[in-house]
């Protein structure tokens, strides 16, 4: 039983709640009061139609319809980014014009349960077929009709497939009868394959023997060539040894000739004049003596300087002792200095 219906921002209605009587509920009001809008909101909740957002009240962000049916609360909400059904706190997306099964099971309503003010009298103007179809929808007999139609269609399709398959079987049977000589051809083919395998083995052995013979001929030619090269190599080694010995002797001869040339140059060099050298040596001896005298004088000066420093230090010490002893007075007359 439908207990109440609450509408928010649907066409004319900003907020409306109607509690249904257990028997009959009548909605009355002046023209353009929103009676049809109330029915459309209930139809939108039950059938998810119309689609789109044209029914949303101008200036509102979302539209909602809530129905309390038996022990269930069903809510339909539509906004810019929101399009859902909610049944007892569990949310489902509203896709197209499809109503989630959990909503249909809770409401048990469809378009056949609604009639607007401009519709003709209910069923009285319908044909017998239309009335029968609507009755089937109410008591779910339409499912039986759909199942019967589906089964009949499948029977027709499978009968056609069976006929096609039977025709194919008959054609293949004729083909098999016309191909009885194939068994003899198959035996001949197997014999040919066997002979072909043997021929392949013989060809393989022949190819191997040919390769070995060719390799033997090549090896013989290579042996002859290597023999000639070996003989030539021995001659080259002997010539190289002789050339190395000649080269060493040549180097030795060149070294002896160079030493002879150097000795010849030494012999031909004139004896230098030693007078200037003797004068330089005399001057050097004088300079060494003067250096020794200077070093001795420098040592004496350093000793005198050291003695001076010691005397200055002793004088300063004596003056300090004198001042401490006589306190600035003359030791002879006793007057202040």
Structural domain includes residue 108:
yes
Q: Is residue 57 part of a domain?
A: yes
pLDDT at 271 over 60: no
pTM (global) more than 0.85: no
* Strand 62-69 to 83-87 pairing: unpaired
Alpha carbon distance 36, 19 (integer Å): 17
- Residue 95, domain member (yes or no): yes
**pLDDT beyond 80 at 265:** no
pLDDT tens by residue, 207-254: 887 787 787 777 777 777 777 776 776 766 676 777 777 778 778 777
Q: Does residue 317 belong to any structural domain of this protein?
A: no
Q: Calculate what percentage of the chain has a pLDDT beyond 90.
A: 12
Tell me whether residue 43 is in a domain. yes
Does 179 fall in a domain?
A: no
| 334 pLDDT above the threshold of 70 | no
Residue 192 confidence (pLDDT): 78
33: domain CATH number? 3.40.50.300
Mean of pLDDT values over 2-17: 93
Residue ranges making up the domain that contains 34: 2-119
Domain count, the chain: 1
Residue 223 lies in a domain: no
The 3-class secondary structure across 246-258, one letter per residue, is: HHHHHHHHHHHHH
d(CA 304, CA 283): 32
In a domain? residue 247? no
């Amino acid at each position: 039983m439908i207990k109440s219906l609450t509408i928010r921002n649907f066409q004319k209605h900003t907020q409306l709640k109607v509690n249904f009587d257990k028997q009959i509920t009548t909605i009355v009001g002046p023209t353009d009061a929103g009676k049809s809008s109330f029915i459309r909101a209930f139809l939108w909740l039950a059938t998810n139609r119309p689609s789109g957002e044209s029914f949303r009240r101008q200036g509102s962000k979302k539209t909602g319809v809530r129905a309390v049916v038996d022990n269930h609360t069903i809510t339909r909400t539509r906004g810019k980014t929101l399009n859902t059904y909610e049944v007892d706190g569990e949310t489902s997306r509203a896709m197209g014009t499809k109503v989630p099964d959990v909503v249909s099971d809770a409401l048990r309503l469809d378009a056949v349960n609604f009639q607007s003010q401009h519709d003709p009298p209910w069923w009285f103007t319908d044909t017998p077929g239309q009335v029968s179809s609507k009755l089937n929808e109410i008591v779910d007999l339409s499912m039986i009709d759909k199942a019967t139609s589906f089964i009949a269609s499948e029977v027709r399709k499978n009968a056609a497939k069976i006929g096609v398959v039977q025709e194919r079987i008959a054609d293949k049977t004729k083909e098999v009868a016309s191909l009885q000589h194939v068994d003899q051809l198959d035996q001949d083919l197997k014999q040919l394959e066997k002979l072909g395998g043997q021929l392949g083995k013989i060809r393989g052995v022949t190819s191997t023997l040919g390769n070995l013979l060719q390799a033997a001929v090549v090896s013989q030619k290579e042996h002859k060539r290597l023999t000639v090269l070996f003989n030539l190599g021995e001659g080259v080694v002997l010539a190289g040894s002789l050339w190395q010995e000649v080269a060493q002797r040549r180097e030795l001869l060149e070294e002896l000739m160079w030493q002879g040339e150097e000795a010849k140059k030494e012999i031909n060099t004139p004896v230098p004049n030693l007078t200037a050298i003797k004068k330089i040596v005399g001057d050097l001896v004088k300079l060494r003596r003067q250096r020794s005298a200077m070093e001795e004088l420098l040592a004496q000066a350093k000793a005198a300087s050291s003695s001076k420093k010691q005397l200055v230090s002793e004088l300063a010490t004596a003056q300090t002792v004198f001042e401490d002893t006589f306190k600035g007075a003359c030791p002879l007359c006793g007057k202040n200095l």
